[in-house]
Amino acid sequence: MKELQDKKAFICDMDGVIYHGNRLLPGVIDFVEWLQKENKKFLFLTNSSSRTLRELSEKLARMGLCVDESHFYTSARATAIFLAAQKPRGSAYVIGDAGIINALYDEGYSINDTNPDYVVVSESANYDYARLCHAVKLVFGGSKLIGTNPDLTGPVEDGIVPATGALMAPIELTTGAKAYYIGKPNPLMMRNALKKLECNREDTVIVGDRMDTDILAGVEAEITTALVLTGVTKREDLKNYAYQPDYIFEGVGDIVSGA
């Protein structure tokens, strides 16, 4: 446990680790205060792409945690950076909310519903049949298909809801196209996080609630992994995976208490 606590940098998922919806999870305040008191480098790295960095910071503030927006990084931001590197000043048709749209604008992209370079899909309350059909039409017309993250589900206050991977499935099945996903466990996301932290992988730990994204991302990047059981993956699910986390906790508060 001391070896984990001595790490210089912490990459933490948010949904299922820090909160469920608008409900802060037990032990989170102690954990974040410990990170700040011990001068740890830390980054909240989320596959959720609906909110901007400022909105994420403000959401935590409403729940009693003051964390500057510089400590956040999302799959939306990673997606926009990737697309700008692939095709500078390109265009995209987006099924998504402010997080991905603003990130694309920041990287010089325009929104285009006629002949975009890319169709970008993320979790969104604006997902509907009309947008789905239009996305299919554009992909058939030659637009490349991008997903902000591969998550099939996401935890909320009262259960589990569909996430980007599930929303993408009808487009892939209809067109035969295979989406390229930017979020965890894509190594691009982890490399960007380490660059932002200015820390190497040996001194870093990733804390997450999903074996198929958070923990897999850490395993593939050779970063120490800590699974918390407050989100999607349960202890009984571990037998289904060929890889295992380095540490398992009931919640992030146990990282501080040493439980």
Domain-wise residue ranges, the chain:
2-47+184-257, 81-181
Annotated catalytic residue within 6, 13, 106, 246:
13
Catalytic residue among 6, 15, 106, 203: 15
Catalytic residue flag (residue 15): yes
Alpha carbons 46 and 99: distance in angstroms, whole number:
12
Rg from Cα positions in the chain: 18
Q: Which of 93, 46, 96 is nearest to 72 (CA)?
A: 46
146 bridge partner residues: 120, 180
This model's pTM is above 0.75:
yes
The CATH number for 2-47+184-257, chosen from 3.40.30.10, 3.40.718.10, 3.40.50.1000, 3.40.50.300, is: 3.40.50.1000
Q: What is the pLDDT of residues 94-147, one digit of tens each?
A: 999 999 999 999 999 999 999 999 999 999 988 999 999 999 999 999 999 999
**Is pLDDT at 84 greater than 90 in this prediction?**
yes
SS3 113: coil
Give the pLDDT of residue 259.
54
**What is the H or E stretch that residue 44 is in?**
strand 41-46
Q: Angle formed by the axes of helices 98-106 and 75-86, to 10°?
A: 40
**Mean pLDDT in the chain?**
94
Task: Give Cβ neighbours of residue 106 (< 8 Å, ≥ 6 apart).
Answer: 80
* Rounded mean pLDDT, 228-243: 96
Dihedral angle sign, alpha carbons of residues 203, 209, 214, 218 = positive
Give the CATH number of domain 81-181; options: 3.90.800.10, 3.40.50.1000, 3.40.30.10, 3.30.70.1520.
Answer: 3.40.50.1000
Give CA separation, 130 vs 90, 127, 153, in Å.
24, 8, 22
Taking the C-alpha atoms of residue 174 and residue 154, their distance in angstroms, rounded to an integer, is 24
What pLDDT score does 258 carry? 66
In this prediction, residue 92 has a pLDDT band, given cuts at 50, 70 and 90, of very high
